[in-house]
Amino acid sequence: MAATKVLVVDDSLTMRALISGALERIPNVEVVGLADGAAEAREMVAQLRPDVMTLDVEMPGMSGIEYLAEIMATKPMPVIMFSTRTTDGAAESIEALRLGAIDCFPKPRVAAPAELNAIIAKLGKRLKAAKTAALRAASAAPPVPVAMGPIEWNGRVLVVGGDASTTAALFEIFGAFPANCPPTLVVQHLGPGLVETMVAQLGEKVAPRVVVATDGMPVEQGTIYFAPAGDHHMVVDSWPAGKLRLLPRDPVGGERPSISLLFAAAAKAAGAAAVGVLLLDGSEDGGGGLKALLGAGSYVFSPAPETGGYTLARNMVTQPTARDALPASILKMCAK
């Protein structure tokens, strides 16, 4: 298999060296170029044709966010963002993900390059997935869809699984939801400190209420609940009139919170009154939960590969659905 070719873009010579050094330790990855900004990166993209770009969020002149918007609007390619900021940069990281970046990683401190070791395994997986990611052109500021009209809810609970790369899809789906949407439980794998910012930014742009889940919180219509990052899994304990529970258990499939555990809990509690949406390929987290949902008679959606979605194993979804049709299809299953 041909190596994944990566272009590293960062205005700091030291950071370019640290990031490229880490990348070269990942099997089957080749760093084909180092650029100090957007202008040099444009030339290298044309000459070297990299499979993936790593891009600094904060750069002088054209920022990484501005350059990412240009890339996604003209000739989309998989981009992984690096940021030195934490709290201040969380909003920029979510904006980068909304624009179409595959993921956002924290940079190591110059004095402690060993910090990068902690993300090398995840970075390797991201690069492998990014090389084959289905991308589509987007405007520099992807519009949030206009919310659909109110629904007459049929009592079904919606469970959704995704990761950083599915941020844009979540804005699209939830942006089309009416204020009285079905109760929606979400596990999204995001980097440290990003769940709260995702919830805050999404809540400003969509009609339903969006919150970070807490233990014992009642599951109600008109609210989208995001599992908090950290040491707990999120499940629903019963249905109808269920409550959220945060469980301090070991990771499942390497993830905590786990999409599969949320899906399995919804299957047990609600059975055919649950609707699942998986925005990943299910190879590491989510696949087991899909099987539990289907076994309980639940309806399961996933965007079709030809529309920027995922290739899932046979019988893992009820029906592949075009990404643009997902909001209407989900609401139809949750309405009388």
Q: What is the pLDDT of residue 85?
A: 60
Cα–Cα dist 53/51, whole Å? 7
Residue 285, pLDDT above cutoff 90: no
Query: Hey, where are the domains in the chain?
Result: 4-131, 157-333
The set of long-range contacts for 300-304, using a CB threshold of 8 Å and a minimum separation of 24, is: 300/275, 300/276, 301/275, 301/276, 301/277, 301/326, 301/329, 301/330, 301/333, 302/277, 302/278, 303/169, 303/279
pLDDT for position 297: 94
Q: Is 7 helix (H, G, I), strand (E, B) or coil?
A: strand
Average per-residue pLDDT for the chain: 87
Give 217-240 pLDDT, tens digit per residue: 999 999 999 999 988 999 999 999
| pLDDT-based confidence at residue 135 (cuts at 50, 70, 90) | low
Banded pLDDT at 313 (limits 50, 70, 90): very low
Q: Do domains 4-131 and 157-333 have the same CATH topology?
A: yes
Span 48-73, average pLDDT: 94
**3-class state of residue 4 by DSSP:** strand
What is the predicted pLDDT for the residue at 111?
A: 55
Q: CATH 3.40.1010.10: does it fit domain 4-131?
A: no
pTM of the complete model = 0.90
Mean pLDDT of the 199-224 span: 97
Q: Report residue 123's pLDDT band, with 50, 70 and 90 as the boundaries.
A: confident
Look at residue 283 and tell me whether its pLDDT is greater than 80. Answer: no
Write down the pLDDT at residue 122: 78
| Token code pair at residue 283 | 């190879």
Cis before 240 (ω within 30)? yes
- At the topology level, CATH places domain 157-333 in Rossmann fold (3.40.50)
pLDDT over 60 (residue 159): yes
DSSP characters for 95-107? HHHHHT-SEEEEP
User: How confident is the model over 163-179, as pLDDT tens digits?
Assistant: 998 999 999 999 999 99
Is the pLDDT score of 314 beyond 70? Answer: no
List the strands of the sheet with 157-163, edge to edge: 209-212, 223-226, 184-189, 157-163, 274-278, 299-303, 319-321
Residue 267 host element (H or E): helix 259-270
**Who's near 106: CB < 8 A, 6+ residues apart?**
82, 83, 84, 86, 119, 191, 192
User: What pLDDT shows up at residue 244?
Assistant: 98
Confidence at residue 323, expressed as pLDDT on a 0 to 100 scale: 81
